[in-house]
Amino acid sequence: MGKGRLLIETTVAQEALPLEGVFVRVFSDNYNFNQIYSTNAEGKVGLIELPAPDRSLSLDQSNEEMPYSVINVELIKNDYTERLIYDVQVFDGETSLLQIEMMPNEENVVPNETTVIPRALLMDEDVLRPEAPILRDTFTLLDQVPVSLRILHPVIIPEKIRVHLGRPSSSARNVSVSFIDYIKNVASSEIYPTWPKESLRANILAQISLALNRVYTEWYPSQGYNFDITNSTAYDQYYVHGRNIFESVSEVVDDIFNNYIRKINTIDPYYAEYCDGKQATCPGMKQWGTVDLANRGYNSYEILRHYYGNDIEIAQTDRIEGIAGSYPGMALRRGTRSDSVAIIQNQLNRIAINYPNITPIYPVDGVFGEQTENSVKIFQRQFNLTADGIVGNATWYKINYIYVAVKKLAELGSEGIVDREIGEYPGFSIRRGDRNVYVQEIQFFLQSITEFTDEIPSIKIDGNFGKSTEAAVIAFQRWVGIPADGIVGRVTWNRLVSVYKNIQNVSPPTVTPLPYPGTALRVGSRGEDVRLVQEALNQVNGNNALSVDGIFGSATERAVRNFQSQNGLSVDGVVGNATWTALFAQFAAVQRILPIAYSEENFKLYDFIFSNYNNLIYNIQNANYNLGD
């Protein structure tokens, strides 16, 4: 039999002021131990020594006995709510800290509050994380609940975390606690304080990362819940409100609370799934296994890499602050220009990989134009939202939720959020069979270039590197004189981006709408004005359905009526002032985005000059200098 220590601290609730003169009774179930104490001016009762089973039991995975003793604590003070805590855990050689907030009595307040700390630590099936966590069923939930997620940039440590004391849909109450205190509580509830320090550090880093993942993705608030995390191990981590914590755990948490796990080259906290490895198994970290690895000389980082792979790293943030909802506070609609629009464009592009009916948006420029509006409408129809093309609160969070779901940010197999600008080489080759946003970018670059040359076939931007995309890549490689293997490695990628940027420096001419000729055109009219109307209708409709012959016949009348109907004009088949003005305004807009008819020779010359600009300027300046001599 060994001995442990119990330290009791009392404060006034929500004020953090020490509370002197609290009557404290410490007693065992059989009353073999029954002592009375009083808190001092610091609100503390000095260290109390208590018997405890030998610490070796808590280090033996095969042990089936309870490796700690339990003690009960009663706290009474006039004008304060009485507190009664059952089953405070005491380990051999460890100091158990019981920090109690005493609530001043008010009307309609329960005269006493009782807390029962579960006796089973990692031994009770009800509190063990299951083999298949609820997160694995993400896609079965998409069409059942109106949920969403946000993405916070950068990662922050929340001052407070809101914990729901039960399963998500239960009627249990919420508590708001400091993030540090939350982690200390979880660690004291899920692991033994007697474990080797490197084992403690590895487990606590996983617990921090899992909690920060919940905060970062706003998993529960996005589903309409008013909390950040639950204490149900079927969903999250074990938190026991009001329980004791352990000094050894507290010291580690104080040292590393602002550290977390992430995948290399990503910014989001990693969903570090774990289980005890004794009564429950999972693909992630085995808590009992960390003890064995620590005893074999592994440090905490090596333990984490053993379970989560060599592509993880420990990140740190010094930002500790409150968190607010990610919704920008105002609806995004046609004409809006902001970073929030760019976020939505990026997220819709990634979603389009899994939902091909959603049209990707390029370029990602933060401008809410027609292309963005159309993609938003398709998304809204896909997920049963009002298809108005406006990103209000519901659509914003739904887009964020689906984005997190398709990237699996809240799962062990997370893709992670890569800190990368559009157009930057992703670091690996892309080839036929790939489906990702990098393929979308390649397709966008290629499609933009096809407007300037017939050498490269037109392709669809769908994120799928299929036969047509491969053929376009090979054509581009031949066109610029690099090895034509159909694979987009660093050289091909950089050349694509370079040529695309060259194109962006070529501005199409301004097109102004034609003025109304002054005479209405109708069936039987003939002449140049009729020909202009026929050509404009073909361009606006994106086809060549009408013969451009200058004769206003029945086919032209039908096309005019159709245009009038689609644009809210009086449907009479006559091209008067209103119809003419609307038609040629759209015609001018179409002309502004049509490809510029540069010859391939001129474009190649322009490309050469742009690519060699610095050398040319140097040579010109050097030549002028020599001439001056």
DSSP class per residue in 363-379: S--SB--HHHHHHHHHH
Which DSSP symbol is given to 151?
Answer: -
Give the pLDDT confidence score for residue 135 in this predicted structure: 28
Between the CA of residue 178 and those of 52, 84, 162, 257, what are the distances in Å? 30, 22, 9, 11
Rounded average pLDDT per 10-residue block, the chain, 629 residues: 93 80 93 91 92 93 91 93 93 94 71 73 42 28 29 76 92 92 94 96 96 89 85 90 93 92 91 87 91 96 96 88 76 88 89 87 89 93 87 84 82 78 84 91 88 85 92 91 91 88 60 77 92 87 82 93 85 92 77 40 47 51 46
The residue to which tokens 């914590």 are assigned: 245
CA–CA separation, 47 and 61 (whole Å): 30
Give the pLDDT confidence score for residue 119 in this predicted structure: 62
Q: Which fold has domain 2-117?
A: Immunoglobulin-like (2.60.40)
Give the pLDDT confidence score for residue 619 in this predicted structure: 56
Q: Please name the helix (run of DSSP H) or strand (run of DSSP E) that holds residue 424, with its range, or none.
A: none
Nearest of 323, 275, 324 to residue 179 by alpha carbon: 323
CA–CA separation, 17 and 31 (whole Å): 32
Nearest of 531, 503, 461, 490 to residue 595 by alpha carbon: 503
CA 278, 280, 281, 284 dihedral sign is negative
Q: Please name the helix (run of DSSP H) or strand (run of DSSP E) that holds residue 459, with its range, or none.
A: none
- CATH: 3.40.50, 1.10.101, 3.30.70, 1.10.3470. Which one for 339-407? 1.10.101
Q: Is the CATH number 3.40.1000 carried by domain 437-497? A: no
Give the pLDDT confidence score for residue 612 in this predicted structure: 53
The DSSP bridge partners found for residue 44 are 9
Give the pLDDT confidence score for residue 27 in this predicted structure: 94
How do the residues of the chain divide into helix, strand and coil, expressed in percent and rounded to 5?
40, 15, 45
Instruction: Assign domain 528-593 to its CATH superfamily.
Output: PGBD-like superfamily/PGBD (1.10.101.10)
Give the pLDDT confidence score for residue 142 in this predicted structure: 27
Boundaries of CATH 2.60.40.1120 in the chain? Answer: 2-117
* SS3 assignment, position 312: strand
CA–CA separation, 337 and 325 (whole Å): 20
Q: Strands 17-18 and 23-27: what pairing?
A: unpaired
Q: Is this prediction's pTM over 0.75?
A: no
